[in-house]
């Protein structure tokens, strides 16, 4: 697993802490990074304008994600359209702690 620190870019928040997310090293893609980050932060992926590797590098493609190292800090930069629809309630299968591989096991 690759462990990354992710937060929402918002200088107006009093508390803007990072959370740690884990990505399977076999599935290191931009799409997977976006999905996991949004699920963990409760953000609608459609409202993510870009993913920034701090301090100043924009991630654009799978190769950029493949170069990430443990505990690198990332920010989701959101589009500012409708503040009420930026955050969403995750479904049961998207909630933190849900194990996708365990759900696929058959008995």
Q: Contact, 38 vs 12, CB < 8 A? A: no
Q: For residue 49, give the 3-state DSSP assignment.
A: strand
- What is the CATH code of the structural domain delimited by 2-78? 3.10.20.90
The pLDDT, as a whole number, for residue 15 is 74
Residues linked to residue 51 through DSSP beta bridges, in sequence order: 59, 76
Q: Determine the average pLDDT of the residues in 10-39.
A: 89
Question: Could you state, in order of their start, the residue ranges of all structural domains in the chain?
Answer: 2-78
* pLDDT tens-place string over residues 26-72: 989 999 999 999 999 999 999 999 999 999 999 999 999 999 999 99
Rounded to two decimals, what is the model's pTM? 0.72
């Amino acid at each position: 697993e690759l462990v990354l620190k992710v937060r929402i870019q918002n200088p107006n928040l009093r508390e803007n802490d990072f959370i740690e997310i884990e990505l399977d090293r076999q599935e290191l893609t931009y799409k997977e990074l976006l999905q996991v980050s949004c699920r963990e932060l409760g953000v609608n992926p459609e409202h993510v304008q870009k993913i920034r590797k701090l301090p100043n590098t924009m991630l654009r493609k799978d190769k950029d994600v493949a170069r990430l190292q443990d505990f690198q800090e990332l920010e989701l930069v959101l589009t500012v359209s409708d503040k009420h629809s930026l955050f969403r309630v995750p479904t049961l299968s998207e909630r933190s702690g849900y194990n996708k591989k365990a759900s696929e096991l058959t008995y």
